[in-house]
Amino acid sequence: MTIHIYQARLLHYLTEDNLAKREKSTNSSDTSTNDTHANDATLPVVDKNVILRPVIAGINVYPEYIAEGALVVDDVSGHVLDYGSKNVIMARYASSSAQQSKAPVEIHDYQDKLIMPGFIDTHVHYPQIDMIAAFGEQLLDWLNNYTFVTEANFSDPQVAHDTSKFFLNQLLANGTTSALVFSTSHPESVEAFFEESTRLNTRMITGNVLMDQNAPEHLCVPTEKGIRDSQNIIDKWHEHGRQHVAITPRFAITSTPKQLQMAGELYRSYESVYLQTHLAENLAEIAFVRELYPKHTGYLDVYHDLGLLGRRTTLAHGIYLEASEYEVLRDTGTQIAHCPTSNLFLGSGLFNLSKTLRYTGVSIATDVGAGTSLSMLTTLSEAYKVQQLQNNPLSAHQGLYQITLGNAQSLLLDDKIGNFMPDKEADFVIIDMGATELLARRMMQTKLHDEQLFVLMMLGDDRVIEETVIAGMSRYKKGVV
């Protein structure tokens, strides 16, 4: 075992429970600085450089920024051991007296960089990386003319493997360490994705796409076979290492009522399996759903009636919802994934973030290939613009919280990832705040931490990602092949 100490500015977000542990640690540090406390892996180091601000946007989380910080990682478990002030951490782990009783220490000096928890993407289609930026269509025509054509290729295991490898490497280059992912209806596409994710040790969620109507015949899978495929994938891959399975009907248009009902039954038979699909993205889509399901009161009622809703369900988009549908989301705990670049690119509409948050959890996602970037920072920039058009601008802290701890909470993974609390998995990203000439020049014009973060949110993209670390192992380093 080697202890790795990353020296840099640190930024992450704390829940009230995390904050209580922080305060307990503060009290302990006031009365004890001995090595016994240094070995306590349940409490973070506390120092005078910490800035704790009030809750953001009515959400009970607190930004924590340490200007001269250090993050301590165990390379065997891949977990966070400690974090805090550089001076305190170095005295605790790297001094001559500390070294007599501890494992070897390796120091990584990134003092001019910012370290944040790895970004989390809650809705993205990995096969669609090959048809990103397809011109001119809205949702339904875009699916027929581009998406289905591309996804047909994934019956070939080699295509699936090559694309999985490329896609996951692109995620890492953009600082994304976990994602809720759509594959295709081919089990080969899921198998390839999980194999590559396992090799990288990334925490990923995916499943075979269920479609048995209103799609090309070569992409549709008979109702029962699609469900059997999902069952087999769950048996093999769910909670295998860091992999999770999501039951994945594409949306109500491409599934018969029987398939949706069977998907709901499979979902409810497990406590930890996820479910993902789409909801109310486009007005023509909603009208088509009403034609197919005339006995239901609305789009969401189809999913509710057939048993697809629940706390582990993520519905992408949710732009056009009725008042009663918000209440159903609240009552079932169903989560919404907001996909701003996709909604703008396809001309779908403007998502009402503040209203939806009053009823249920909202995550933020890229939705490639309708989304035009795998960068969560670029996605936040577009989310800001969408909310600005509705007189409700997104703050930097709310956005950066959302793509780290917030998205982890939406996926019920916040006990494992999302911030730097000790014993969490060491997935993090090292950010160069001056990676481009424009960024560097703009950063020189402000000394305010909050304003610098807003500039990063608006101007940052893959170029600011210096390094991405997965479970304590460097998996991407800028400029290194």
Q: Domain holding 371: CATH number?
A: 3.20.20.140
Is there a single domain that holds both residue 406 and residue 448? no
What ranges in 52-123 are assigned the alpha helix state H?
86-93, 96-99
Same domain, 395 and 348: yes
- DSSP per-residue string spanning 308-350: --STTEEEEE--S--HHHHHHHHHHT-EEEE-HHHHHHTT---
Strand partners, 278: 316
The total number of structural domains that make up the chain: 2
Per-residue pLDDT of the chain (481 residues; tens, 9 = 90+): 899 999 999 999 999 999 888 777 756 654 444 333 333 333 343 444 555 665 666 678 999 999 999 999 999 999 999 999 999 999 999 876 566 556 899 999 998 999 999 999 999 999 999 999 999 899 999 999 999 999 999 999 999 999 999 999 999 999 999 999 999 999 999 999 999 999 999 999 999 999 999 999 999 999 999 999 999 999 999 999 999 999 999 999 999 999 999 999 999 999 999 999 999 999 999 999 999 999 999 999 999 999 999 999 999 999 999 999 999 999 999 999 999 999 999 999 999 999 999 999 999 999 999 999 999 999 999 999 999 999 999 999 999 999 999 999 999 999 999 999 999 999 999 999 999 999 999 999 987 788 999 999 999 999 999 999 999 999 999 998 7
Query: Would you say 351 and 388 are in contact if contact means Cβ atoms under 8 Å apart?
Result: no
Residues 54 and 123 in one domain: no
Domain match, 398 and 454 both: no
- The two three-digit tokens of residue 87, written as one number: 């001076």
Provide the token pair at 123. 């809705």
452 and 340 in a single domain? The answer is no
3-state secondary structure at position 138: coil
* Residue 191 sits in the same domain as residue 223: yes
Dihedral sign of CA atoms 163, 259, 143, 363 in order? negative
The answer to whether 223 touches 249, Cβ cutoff 8 Å, is no
Residues 342 and 399 grouped into a single domain: yes
422 vs 420: CA distance, rounded Å: 6
Please tell me whether the overall predicted TM-score, pTM, comes out greater than 0.75 for this model: yes
End residue of a domain, out of 351, 378, 410: 410
Give yes or no: residues 162 and 275 share one domain. yes
For residue 419 the two structure tokens come to 């911030």
Length of the chain in residues, anyone? Answer: 481
Q: Are 407 and 381 in contact (CB under 8 A)?
A: no
Q: Residue type at 270? A: Y
End-to-end CA distance of the chain: give it in Å, rounded.
Answer: 26
Question: 135 and 95, same structural domain?
Answer: no
- Are residues 200 and 296 located together in one domain of the fold? yes
Q: Tell me, yes or no, whether 153 and 113 share the same domain.
A: no
Residue at a domain's end among 386, 410, 434:
410
Of 360, 376, 410, the one marking the end of a domain is 410
| Residue 353 and residue 429 in one domain | no
Q: CATH number for the domain including 472? A: 2.30.40.10
Look up the domain containing 364 and give its range: 119-410
**Nearest residue to 282 via CA among 184, 219, 370, 179:** 370
CA Rg, the chain, in Å?
A: 22
